[in-house]
Amino acid sequence: MTVNIPLVNGTSYCTLTAHSKETFDKTVDFYCTFLQLERQSYSSNSTFLYNSSISVKLDLEVDEIKQRKAEARYEELKSKSGNKDWRVLVSESLVFNTADIQFNKQTLDHIDAPRQAYPSYLFPMQLYTLDPLGNVVGVTSTKNAVSTMPTHPPVLEEKMPSAIASKAQSYTDLSSCVKTSNNYPSLPKQSKHGRKAIAVMTSGGDAPGMNSNVRAIVRSAIFKGCRAFVVMEGYSGLVHGGPEYIKEYSWEDVRGWSSEGGTNIGTARCMEFKERDGRLLGAQHLIEAGVDALIVCGGDGSLTGADLFRAEWPSLIAELLKNNRITKEQHTRYQHLNICGTVGSIDNDMSTTDATIGAYSALDRICKAIDYVEATANSHSRAFVVEVMGRNCGWLALLAGIATSADYILIPEKPSSSREWQEQMCDIVSKHRKRGKRTTIVIVAEGAISNDLTPISPADVHKVLVEKLGLDTRITTLGHVQRGGTAVAYDRILASLQGVEAVNAVLDTTPDTPSPLIAINENKITRKSLVDSVRLTKSVAEAIHSKDFKKAMSLRDTEFIEHLNNFMAINSADHNEPKLPSDKRLKIAIVNVGAPAGGINSAVYSMATYCMSQGHKPYAIYNGWTGLARHESVRSLDWKSMLGWQSLGGSEIGTNRATPEEADLGMIAYYFQKYQFDGLIIVGGFEAFVSLHQLEKARDSYAAFRIPMVLIPATLSNNVPGSEYSLGSDTALNALMEYCDVIKQSASSTRGRAFVVDVQGGNSGFLATCTSLAVGAQASYVPEEGISLDQLSQDIETLAEAFERSEGRGRFGKLILKSTNASKALSAENLAKVMTAEAEGRFDAKSAIPGHVQQGGLPSPIDRTRATRLAIKAVGFIETKQEIIREARADDEEFNPEDKEIESTAAVLGVKGSHIVFTSIRQLYDFEADVAKRMPKIIHWEGTRAIADHLVGRKIVQ
């Protein structure tokens, strides 16, 4: 029997006290023998006994009176071992799971200890004995051990055991309400905001990510020195009121919520709140609970109700005072109600924000379903009509259409006459089929209509495909599957960041400040006017119902319109007459450089199909620069050969890390000249960044490089200067998040278990930081900070205290994320060993190495759709920069590489804050890049690190 495979597990940590040195020594020997424990440390008055699953601390406090009572208890129980069940005689016991109960039985026989066994001593499933302190100690071969002894030092009873059976629960305290203290979690000492009370509620339809939003709001409120409340069951909870519906939450109450779908505090449609009497009750109940501010996570209807509630607040509390339902003091104290909105809706139908909480999770479900459906469609050469949610908003259908290369979409914002949409759809499907496509996917938004407002159902589409084209057609209605499951990484992070900002907003808000709505624009969290956002959102539906479709489209954000134009462009490919005249048509090449990343194939597919629709000739340089220099690996791209690329991971045209100078710059220039490329799109990571710099620098020597060149960042490390987003980073986040969710579940199943997960990313801590926020990791170590001994020691103490406070409750596995390059001395495995040793039996740590799993399989919908958007912008960049550099290509003497306009024709396409921008490679390489470290000088995710730390109560050592 070895300690590495523990004989027993169960109660993870307990403390026992002996009252004489002789009993102390006997107890040490007893537990080491019976439970096969080892001594971690030993002193004259304290010792730790442990295996990898459990630990027992034994203290010595010499006390003759207590020792005599313990001896009397031992003799009393021993005398009744043959005729009384010890479990009835005592109120506390220690019980462990055992891997080999027969071994324990043989041990008791060997040391001749008192014992009881059930159902029989010959074949026991439960086995009990007495330790030298007089405690009942048991082992069981059943699934769950049932200890009723506290994990904190047990209080030895001053009286003899009662003959009454214990009514205590058969597990250690499972109450979730552990009050936040000054020590755990680590909170600021003071807050300038005072003890305000902030409540959060979820309303309307549920959406993945709502739990992350509630968690962030509760913990941020506590972090800011406020009291945190939740309103159960949405507005219905406000109307009903009382402690059952308006509850104060502590730090631990929301532990583990990020990885759970739906909303744990409930949501409901509430007709009563739409009436003034219902809102009057809501106001009264909030005042009775002492709430100062309310944060509502919901859709436009929920947020409309919230803003109306605030507008009516003065009159509501005046009426309550008049009717003696509140006191004058309460009226004075709660004169103003601060309200803030965070948008939780899978439809993504809120104006002024690019994304709502839950929308990308729903899109992920849709894209996976269509990927699956397309596999069976290909087998039978079938057509599938897929209905998705969306009411008055076609965002889900539109983005799913782009992400899966659907043949046709029907959305409410751009309807046609019944005859037109049928003819358009049949025309496109027929052209696709004639060119060899075996599958047909038509996506129908549930709010799809023709221009006379006649609803278009999947059955209508099915009928047209069958009767006019003779296709074997099936209908798939995804329904509430779109709402189900846990949130994707984007929604978890978005919900968390918006929750933190919502708390800041209600604390900043004055009685004269309009109610804010927390939005995201490109990559930046922003505050908008709640009432204006709701008004614009409702205007879209009104415009559609009044048949003013042009106005409805204009009220959608510019990104929606851009996506729609992109879909129509890439969907026509080479099937229609090109848009540009022959003298404007270009030869444009695309190359992948660096490691594979999700979305690379989507970028190639979108670039090529958009080029075809414009009239350009798209070329692919296969296998990177070495492929070109050694094998002249240039191929023109055709539509049929790229079918399905939107949904594929990896790189279909091949990639490697070699730069042009490493491959052969002269040969690359030769082939550029041979094929007379008019533009170049590079898709890749830091090697691609260096490649663009080398090509731009070589323009003075090689005229072939005097063409517009643009880099689309694509790397899971997200370390390309000039952009806060790289293709593949979202796919990698999801892959690592799913891995961590599984690992955390494993850790939760074993008491006192933490996992150290090794994270890729080179010298960039982006992946570790964002995954830490998404999964609620207790700590993350990144290359930008390294691992200091002081911080590591503090993290171990925080973890140990967290495990001690868990008291056996579920969902308590802990994660530590470590970027591979955060420390050369401490690998994930070595870090786990150090943490286990320093924990002194209070918990143990294991390492987990996800490796190249982090690159992900199929690209996420975000990477697919953003790849399309960025690829089309890159082609547009090449089109607009032609005139600037055309003359420079023809005349060496006139070429001036220092000319700012010419310099601008080699650029990185990136997301910065709330904008998509082109930045010249020379500016970025010379001033914004740390080339030696392969990193940008500005770390844009630093603020996210601080939020990830404070949402888990991590204490940062300065």
- SS3 state at 795: helix
136 is in an annotated binding site: no
44 is in an annotated binding site: no
753 is in an annotated binding site: yes
Residues contacting residue 721 through CB under 8 Å, at least 6 positions apart: 689, 908, 924, 925, 928, 929, 935, 936, 937, 938
- In the chain, % helix, strand, coil (3-state, to 5) comes to 45, 20, 35
389 is in an annotated binding site: yes
Among the listed residues 131, 206, 307, 347, the single catalytic one is 347
657 is in an annotated binding site: yes
**Amino acid present at 582:** S
776 is in an annotated binding site: no
765 is in an annotated binding site: no
Q: Is the peptide bond before 119 cis (omega within 30 degrees of 0)?
A: yes
718 is in an annotated binding site: yes
762 is in an annotated binding site: yes
Give the Cα-Cα-Cα angle 33, 34, 39 (nearest 5 degrees). 50
626 is in an annotated binding site: no
DSSP state string for 273-323: GGSHHHHHHHHHHHHHHT--EEEEEE-HHHHHHHHHHHHHHHHHHHHHHHT
Q: Is the peptide bond before 783 cis (omega within 30 degrees of 0)?
A: no
- CB atoms under 10 Å from CB of 879, counted, come to 18
302 is in an annotated binding site: yes
339 is in an annotated binding site: no
761 is in an annotated binding site: yes
CA distance 657 to 591: 12
- CA diameter of the chain: 109
Residue 347 designated active-site: yes
Asked if 356 and 483 touch (Cβ cutoff 8 Å), the reply is: no
116 is in an annotated binding site: no
CA distance 273 to 290: 20
Tell me the pairing of strands 440-445 and 408-410.
Answer: parallel
474 is in an annotated binding site: yes
855 is in an annotated binding site: yes
483 is in an annotated binding site: yes
Asked if 740 and 726 touch (Cβ cutoff 8 Å), the reply is: no
Select from 208, 230, 203 the least CA-distant residue to 217: 230
CA distance 826 to 823: 5
Select from 941, 892, 899, 599 the least CA-distant residue to 780: 941
760 is in an annotated binding site: yes
What order of strands is seen across the sheet that includes strand 524-529? 246-249, 227-231, 197-202, 293-298, 338-343, 516-521, 524-529
852 is in an annotated binding site: yes
205 is in an annotated binding site: yes
Tell me how long the chain is. Answer: 958
854 is in an annotated binding site: yes
**Amino acid present at 781:** Y
> Which residues are paired to 298 by β-bridges?
343
299 is in an annotated binding site: yes
Residues marked as binding for ATP? 205, 269-270, 299-302
Residues marked as binding? 205, 269-270, 299-302, 345-347, 382, 389-391, 446, 474, 480-483, 657, 715-719, 753, 760-762, 846, 852-855, 934
Residues marked as binding for substrate? 345-347, 382, 389-391, 446, 474, 480-483
Residues marked as binding for beta-D-fructose 2,6-bisphosphate? 657, 715-719, 753, 760-762, 846, 852-855, 934
Residues marked as binding for Mg(2+)? 300
Residues involved in catalysis: 347
